[in-house]
A = this chain, B = another copy of it.
Amino acid sequence: MFLKIDTNINTPIYLQIYQRIHEGIKSGQLKAGQRLPAVRVLASELNVARGTIELAYQLLVSEGLLETKGAKGTFISQTIKNLPTNRSKEPEGLYLEQKAFNQTAPTNNCSKQNTNGYTVLPFQLGTPALDAFPHKLWARISARILRDSHFDLLSYPDAQGLRQLREGLARYLMISRGIHCSPEQIFISFGHRASLQLIAQSLFTAGDIGWFEEPGYHIARDFLQQIGLKLIPISVDGQGINVKQGVEAAPAAKFALVTPTHQSPTNVTLTLERRLALLEWANQQGSWIIEDDYDGEFHYQGRPLPALKSLDSEERVIYCGTFSKVLYPALRLSYIVVPPTYHDHFNSTAMIMGNQCPSWQQEITSTFIQEGHFSRHLRKMRELYRQRRSFLIEAIKIKLSDVFEVELQAGGMHIVVKIINGIPAIQFSQLAIYHGLKVEALDDWLINKKESDCLLLGFTNIKDKQESLMLCHKLNEISHNLLSCEELK
């Protein structure tokens, strides 16, 4: 089993060895009391430094899975006999690790994926509080619509999206985000990337250049690069994206993709000054601003600024919204707002691209909005997230004061913490993920890769004080294990 080490993937080798032994123990290949190869033997067998093997062993010892018997060598601990073999639904123990493994190795055989693939992991980003979603109410509305459904719900849907849904959205955008638009300007898409696809196919050609926030939303980044666009990283500071830097780096860029309300992932709000500078650039250049307002509703200190789009007098902003954060991700519904003069253009692209969304989902969502459940739900969630966020911050103060420093912003669905004990964020993240805690390092959110000391912690699905404390305690353990390894280095 040790010969499978892969030097290409970016999981450090010590962690791969650690994982192999872990898997070996779980699968029963490695039995209690069994002797492991000596450090130098394994090191030469794998052709890696002895320190690497020592790190792996040390981690497993600190978890009680291995025990060292001095000269005799290193053995699988007797304690593993007590490990649970049937996976409890509780978010801890081997189950978590299994889950984490599926998360980190998504191309593994799919049965694994689907056992757990859907479940939300602790600290997972960008997933609304699924326990708080009114899914009984949703089910009732759905059932009603299904019962009364007619052919309209079966045949090919409108490529622009269900009219009633777009009407509901137009009202919502005016009240909540300060955007005045007609239903004709709204295009419903099958998720955010389908929105980006529609924009790209309508306005850009392969090779076009765009500003991209650094750090920035890596899912959009990977997608846009995949479809052939070139992204120039423009750094983000305490005021949001650095427009001046953008103008210097790529004055003639075709577009800028920004997250003004809560910059993804720093949660910084783009200042009014920067907003105006950005608009001025776009107006002068005839460039496009793509505003991704994915979670603008979740603002906890005062009201959020209205959307950048609300300042867009010259129609250079394409506004992107989604239901993934405010309702639930599996709905796969997003939308964009385009300038009135571009309606026909976008519409013909939408018809070529096959932008139709399942009619039922649209009708259910539309009804949910029309009957007032949507705004009620948003208010409820805002309050819930405010609370869950404070639970986590509290728990960090108690359990991780010597490990993390919280960098708090006015909104968002996660918090950013700075690691203050010298552990590189990527190492912290990798071990945490392996233990089923979906803690992301800032590193992955950078185009110009560099080692960061920031972690992103989603709080939306952490139910209460107790869970926050329990999870922070786990992070603390992980921190200690890593520290003890650092010393070995």
**Cβ–Cβ contact B352 & A226, under 8 A:** yes
- Let me know if A478 is at the binding interface, CB within 8 A: no
**B residues in contact with A157, CB < 8 Å:** 118, 329-330, 332
Are A193 and B353 in contact (CB-based, < 8 A)? yes
Q: Which residues of A contact B (CB under 8 A)?
A: 106-107, 109-111, 113-114, 117-120, 127, 130-131, 133, 135, 138-139, 142-143, 146-147, 149, 151-160, 162-164, 166, 183-184, 190-194, 201, 206, 219, 222-223, 226-228, 328-332, 343-344, 347-349, 351-354, 356-361
Query: A131, B151: Cβ atoms under 8 Å?
Result: yes
Q: What 4 pairs across the A-B complex have the smallest Cβ distances?
A: A114-B163, A139-B146, A193-B354, A118-B152
A158 to chain B, nearest CB (A): 5
- Chain B residues with CB below 8 A from A119, complex form: 151-152, 155
B354 touches A192 (CB 8 A): yes
Q: Which B residues are in CB contact (< 8 Å) with A154?
A: 130, 133, 135, 328-330
CB-nearest residue of chain B to A118 = B152
A139 touches B143 (CB 8 A): yes
Residue of B nearest to A351 (CB): B106
Contact B158 A110 (CB under 8 A): yes
27 A-B pairs within 8 Å (CB atoms) are namely A107-B347, A110-B160, A110-B183, A111-B163, A113-B160, A114-B163, A114-B164, A117-B158, A118-B151, A118-B152, A118-B156, A118-B158, A119-B152, A135-B149, A139-B143, A139-B147, A139-B149, A142-B142, A155-B329, A190-B332, A206-B228, A223-B353, A223-B354, A226-B353, A331-B358, A332-B358, A358-B358
The residue in chain B whose Cβ has the minimal distance to the Cβ of A363 is B330
Assembled-state Cα–Cα distance A226/B353 (Å): 8
**A354 → chain B, closest Cβ, in Å?**
4
Smallest CB separation, A142 vs chain B (Å): 5
Contact of A354 among B130, B135, B166, B191 (CB under 8 A): B191
Q: For A141, give the chain B residue with the smallest CB separation.
A: B146
Q: Are B120's CB and A151's CB within 8 A?
A: yes
Contacts of A127 in B (CB 8 A): 155-156
Specify the chain B residue showing the minimal Cβ separation from A220. Answer: B354
A320 CB to nearest chain B CB (Å): 13
Q: Are A223 and B352 in contact (CB under 8 A)?
A: yes
Q: How far is the CB of A323 from chain B (nearest CB, A)?
A: 11
Cβ contacts under 8 Å, A135 to chain B: 146, 149, 154
Question: How many Å lie between the Cα of A183 and that of B135 in the bound state?
Answer: 30
Q: What is the CB-to-nearest-CB distance from A93 to chain B, in angstroms, rounded to a whole number?
A: 19
Tell me the minimal C-beta distance from A381 to chain B in angstroms: 13
Rounded to whole angstroms, the CA-CA distance of A131 and B348 in the bound complex is 29
User: In whole angstroms, what is the CA distance A343 to B109 when docked?
Assistant: 10
Q: Are B138 and A354 interface neighbours, CB within 8 A?
A: no
Taking the closest CB of chain B, its distance from the CB of A217, in whole angstroms, is 12
Q: With a CB–CB cut-off of 8 A, which chain B residues contact A120?
A: 151, 155
